[in-house]
Amino acid sequence: MSASSVGATDQLATPPAGPAPMVAEARSGRWGDLWRAVGRSKKAVVGVLILLFFTVLAVFPGQIAPYSPTAKIFPPALGPSSQHWLGTTNVGEDIFSQLIWGTRLSLVIALAVGAVATLLAVLVGVSAGYLGGATDGFLSLVTDVILVLPIFPLIIVIAAYEKNAGLLTLIVVLGVLGWSYGARQLRSQTLSLRRRDFLESARVRGERRSYVILHEILPTMTSLIVATFLGSAVYAVLTAAGLQFIGLGDPSSQSWGTMLYWAQSNEALIAGMPLWAIAPGVCVALLGAAFALLNYAFDEISSPALRVRKLDRARLPSVEPSSEPAEPVSVEEGTILKVEELTVAYATDGGPVVAVDHVDLELARGEFLAIVGESGCGKSTLLYAIARLLGAPMAGEIVGGRVLFQGRDLVLLEEKQLRAVRWRDLSVVMQSAMNALNPVLTVAEQMRDACRAHSDWSNAEIEVRSREVLRLVSIDPVHLHSYPHQLSGGMRQRAMIAMALLFTPELIIMDEPTSALDVVAQRSLMMQIKELQEELGFAVIFVTHDMSLVSHFSDRLLVMYAGQVAELSQTSELFDRPLHPYSQGLLGAFPSIRGPKVRLTGIPGSPPNLANPPRGCRFAPRCPSAEPRCTAGEIPLYPVNGSLVRCVLVEDAS
Amino acid sequence: MRFILRRLGFFVVTLWAAITLNFFIPRLMPGNAAEAMMTRFHGHINPQSLHALEVAFGVKAHQSLVGQYFSYLGNTVRGRFGTSLTFFPDPVMKDVLQALPWTLVLVGLTTILAFVLGTMIGLVGAWRRGGLVDSAMPPIFVITSAFPYFWIAGIAIWLFSLKLNWLPHGGGYDPIDTPAWTWHFAHDAFVHAILPALTILVTAIGGWILTMRNNTISVLTEDYVRMARAKGLRPWRIMWTYAGRNAILPNLAGFAMSLGFVVAGAILVEYVFNYPGVGYYFLDAVTNQDYPLMQGLFLLITVAVLTAILAADVATAFLDPRTRDMR
């Protein structure tokens, strides 16, 4: 039933962040990829096999069926036997032969209605989405009206006037009434595609509309078009069977629905011919299920979140056991967080990918540590691993190492024990408050449930504290009872920071909390974070891809590259004397605020594929000063004047 | 409020479209079915029946098509569907109102039950991702929801009433009873409703489970769910107010679509069970060529579906503040 596809296609999941890039990005949904994906899905394979089976029956019924389906030559109402596998009807026809001959009509109806409905859906949906304006308004209204009209009774009304409707009428009527759902989906997909760069560029190039639609839009919507076809095929199989069952349409035609009609009117179940009524129903269900399974499998292919992948630990390059639980944890006085050898892997279709590779770091009370690196370098994964928040959409798993916080190894804590630590001692601020705040709860409600989880404050106390933290981040407490969508971008972000301050935790983990804001708002938010930190004394781990943003605020800077620490040193030290060529490159990519005007160089090339990282130094392929020894073996972190640098060039200095 | 008003406006448009279709379908069929029917019946049925057909089709001698259309529209809006041919001389409205409560109770309650149960099972299944229930669910329910309702109904009758003799095999109540507000009758009606209700439930629930499961899985990847985990909320709270409340929104939006299947299924289930509801009378009217009754019932079904969808819209507005603020 196409109902199964409603939700998943309604809100196609955003591609998961992090190094799990098997999502059909807009332009890669071509036929080849699609078929490979189909081959990997068990549901799709079963669906295809059932369809193939019925197709063979439909094409060669004369060769397969032992008798003519209409020959009334046998004794009536026989039970199943070796001559008549399913018995005979009350007038002595062979039920098995009727079943095989009936396949053809059911399959033809399914495919033809699927084709007609899909064609209409594509025409209406894509035109509405692409042309916009009044055309869209009109087409959308028609689509919505047909969508909510009760189609089945309407078809019955039509059939009632046209008693002996032929096959063609049936197909046309079912197709013309069954396209609306697909059209609606295709329209919204077209609308979102319209804003993509590649379409803009095609328009700028001056391509003709028809070219843009045929060559740019339609190929990217392959999976949705296929889903529309399969959905309308399911609907056609069931609706046609229903119509034939109540005797509308040609009662002399050979179809499963007609068999059910005759079985019902001869009370086959009571009259000792149960298989006459059972077998055609099973066939209808099997054919419907085949289309529905395929549809479901396509859903899973187009939104990979629906699939469960298991991390194959045996295929990890180097697996080390997690730390022993009993070991007493000794951490230096003043250190609140100590990360040791933390390693995180993702399960992908091509095997495990190590996204964070043996990372060590320490954090002192009240310290501000910034982690910088390109997208996909593992910085966010590291952050969420420390906070034990991995899981969909970042389906990474910690496969080794320790995260010592408050004398305990967070990696080993049960979810229940973790809950006691969360928010009271360790809170999180995320990249986009638009996504991180629950859209259906007010700010007050979202603060309240955090307070409820960790305190026994009364409602009044919670209200007072919520107002207090809002004032801390310069938001007028009148906004406390607003919903997230009613606040401006900057206010949402501040509200999230306010929420993180409810219990004044020891450590706040921030994942690019300013990247959704404009430059001025970024600056003022950074100042605010720094002020709050100095006032309240919490430590911060701050992830960003924008090095210049943290230059004035962070105490130390950790540069990450391809899942590893490239360089870790005092912020001022790193800005003045970057040692790793990658850090130098990053600095070259950002304009200096204080220094003289220099040409921005940037870093040529792109980060390596973590599924198969290069041997030795992972930066070597892009490094201007690479030498043969760079790729000879694993490069350790060399200590140089209080900094840590993963580069052989500093070996002599260390 | 504005959102609800806009939806109401949309439903007026849809209802108008349904009435208009009702008027034009018999005229658009090959050979103008309406006219042909009138000619065919002329002299064969009594003048009153002929008049009933005239009202049903909106055919009046010496009136232009536009004129016919508007007088038809006026009659329909005022609930004048003409006279039923099978239950002559009952006005169609009377038969319609007689069938309505049976369907409302049977189909209405089972649909709500299927929606609520299916939504909850889908939510919990997705929440326990990769568990036994979750991995077994999709293939099982994809297949159960592909079974035709009427077929399940037939098998249910055969198994539970003919073979096992546990439950009555059809009808809304025992024929020796007369409908009355007594405990005895209520019990009788309840027993007769069990099998049809289970049939609708079993076939309708799969769709809701699968949609809710997929929605929930998408929602579980949202940042606000991770944020809820970061806040150290209890899993129960995260599941209901963070995952569930957001995942149900597209499910409500898909309600319109899935309702079509339920209505189609319910009509056939009533037919197989001889259940004295709207669907049964509707098919009965089709078989007996009682066009006035058929048209009246079709409009009633349309109104019922629209009301259900409007209820889903109200629920959406209630659960989603963004819809409430939509201008």
* Chain B residue with minimum CA distance to A148: B256
Among A296-300, A318-322, A429-433, A515-519, whose mean pLDDT is lowest?
A318-322
Residue of chain B nearest A393, judged by CA positions? B221
Q: Which residue has the higher pLDDT, A476 or A432?
A: A476
The pLDDT score that the predictor gives to residue A27 is 40
Q: Answer whether A11 sits within 8 Å of B250, measured CB to CB.
A: yes
Nearest Cβ partner for B207 among A1, A159, A160: A1
Give the position of tokens 């409703």. Answer: B193
Mean of all residue pLDDT scores within chain A: 82
Q: Starting from the edge strand earliest in sequence, which strands make up the sheet with A368-372, in order?
A: A426-429, A507-511, A539-544, A368-372, A556-561, A564-570, A643-645, A638-640
Cβ–Cβ below 8 Å for A245 and B148: yes
Q: What is the pLDDT of residue A26?
A: 37
Q: Is A486 at the interface with chain B, CB within 8 A?
A: yes
**CA–CA distance, A92 with A49 (Å, rounded to integer):** 32
For A531-582, what is each residue's pLDDT tens digit?
999 999 999 999 998 888 888 889 999 999 999 999 999 998 888 888 898 9
Terminal C-alpha separation, chain B: 10
Across the interface, whether the CB atoms of A264 and B151 are under 8 A apart is answered no
pLDDT tens digits along A618-634: 988 888 888 888 888 88
Mapping DSSP onto H, E and C, the string for A285-299 reads: HHHHHHHHHHHHHHH
Amino acid at A351: G
pTM, to two decimals = 0.83
A154 and chain B in contact, CB less than 8 A: yes
Residue type, A129: G
Contact A153 B14 (CB under 8 A): no
Nearest chain B CA: its distance from A228 CA (Å): 13
Question: Is B86 in a helix, a strand, or coil?
Answer: coil
Q: Beta partners for A362?
A: A338
Q: Is A6 on the interface with B (CB under 8 A)?
A: yes
Give CA–CA dist A156/B242, Å, rounded.
43
> Of A510, A515, A526, nearest to A489 (Cα)?
A515
Asked if residue A111 has pLDDT above 90, the reply is: yes
Q: What is the DSSP letter of B261?
A: H
Beta strands in A430-579 (DSSP E): 507-511, 539-544, 556-561, 564-570
Cα distances (angstroms) measured from residue A15 to each of A304, A382, A425, A432, B46: 8, 19, 31, 16, 69
The pLDDT of residue A320: 52
More confident residue, B165 or B256: B165
Residue of A nearest to B12 (CA): A145
Q: Calculate how close chain B gets to A295, using CA atoms only, in Å.
A: 10
| pLDDT in the model for residue B35 | 63
Total Cβ atoms within 10 A of residue A562: 24
pLDDT classification of A28: cutoffs 50, 70, 90 = very low
Taking CB atoms and an 8 Å limit, are A11 and B218 in contact across chains?
yes
pLDDT of residue A130: 83
Nearest CB neighbour to B17, from listed A149, A158, A288? A149
Mean pLDDT to the nearest integer, A378-401: 83
Distance, CA of B80 to CA of A415 (rounded, Å)? 65
User: How do residues B1-31 score in pLDDT, each as one tens digit?
Assistant: 788 888 888 888 988 988 888 888 877 765 5
More confident residue, A605 or B321: B321
* Structure tokens, A634: 């694993």
SS3 for B316?
helix
Across the interface, whether the CB atoms of B17 and A242 are under 8 A apart is answered no
pLDDT, residue A3, reads 37
Among B142, B157, B257, beta carbon nearest to A147? B257
Evaluate if residue A405 carries a pLDDT over 70: yes
Q: Which stretch of DSSP H or E encloses residue A556?
A: strand A556-561
Q: Which of A9, A10, A148 should we substitute to test contact with B (largest number of B Cβ atoms within 10 Å)?
A: A148
What is the pLDDT averaged over residues A134-139?
Answer: 88
CB of A387 less than 8 A from some CB of B: yes
Query: For residues A494 and A525, is the Cβ–Cβ distance under 8 A?
Result: yes
Give the residue with greater pLDDT, A648 vs A18.
A648
Taking contacts as CB-CB distances below 8 angstroms, the residues of chain A near B238 are: none
A5 contacts: CB under 8 Å, gap ≥ 6:
A227, A231, A295, A296, A299, B211
**Cross-chain CB nearest to A154 (options B21, B130, B218):** B21
Q: Is the pLDDT of residue B140 over 60?
A: yes
Identify the residue with better confidence: A444 or B68.
Answer: A444
Provide the pLDDT confidence category of residue A1 given band limits of 50, 70 and 90.
very low
Share of chain A above pLDDT 90, in %: 24
Q: Who among A148, A242, A260 is closest to B256 (CB)?
A: A148
Query: Where in A163-230 does DSSP place strands (E)?
Result: none
pLDDT confidence tier of residue A462, bands split at 50, 70 and 90? very high
Q: Which pLDDT does position A2 carry in this prediction?
A: 37
| pLDDT over 80 (residue B80) | no
What's the whole-number mean pLDDT along residues B303-326? 85
pLDDT at A115 over 90: yes
The pLDDT of residue B113 is 92
- Side by side, the strands of the sheet bearing A408-409 are A351-364, A335-348, A396-405, A408-409
pLDDT bin (cut points 50, 70, 90) of residue A205 is confident
> How high is the pLDDT of residue A338?
92
* Interface predicted TM-score of the whole assembly (ipTM), two decimals: 0.86
Q: Residue holding tokens 């009138």?
A: B38
Answer yes or no: is pLDDT of A23 > 50: no
The minimum CA-CA distance between B310 and chain A, rounded to whole Å, is 11
Q: What is the pLDDT of residues A314-339, one digit of tens each?
A: 677 654 544 454 455 566 778 899 99
Average pLDDT rounded to a whole number, residues B282-307:
85
pLDDT of residue A32: 67
Q: Report the residue from A162, A239, A439 with minimal CB separation from B246.
A: A439
Residues in A closer than 8 angstroms to B136, CB to CB, are none
Put simply, the chain A residues between 21 and 80 with a CB less than 8 A from any chain B CB are 43
Tell me how close the Cα of A395 comes to any Cα of chain B, in angstroms.
Answer: 9
Would an 8 Å CB–CB cutoff place B261 in contact with chain A?
Answer: yes
| Contact yes or no for B146 and A144 at CB 8 A | no
B139 touching A (Cβ < 8 Å): yes
Chain B residues touching A144 at Cβ < 8 A: 10, 14
The per-residue pLDDT for range A571-608, each reduced to its tens digit, is 988 888 888 989 888 887 655 555 556 565 667 777 88
Tell whether the model's pLDDT for residue A469 goes beyond 90: yes
Strand pairing class (A368-372; A556-561): parallel
Q: Tell me, what amino acid is at A33? A: D
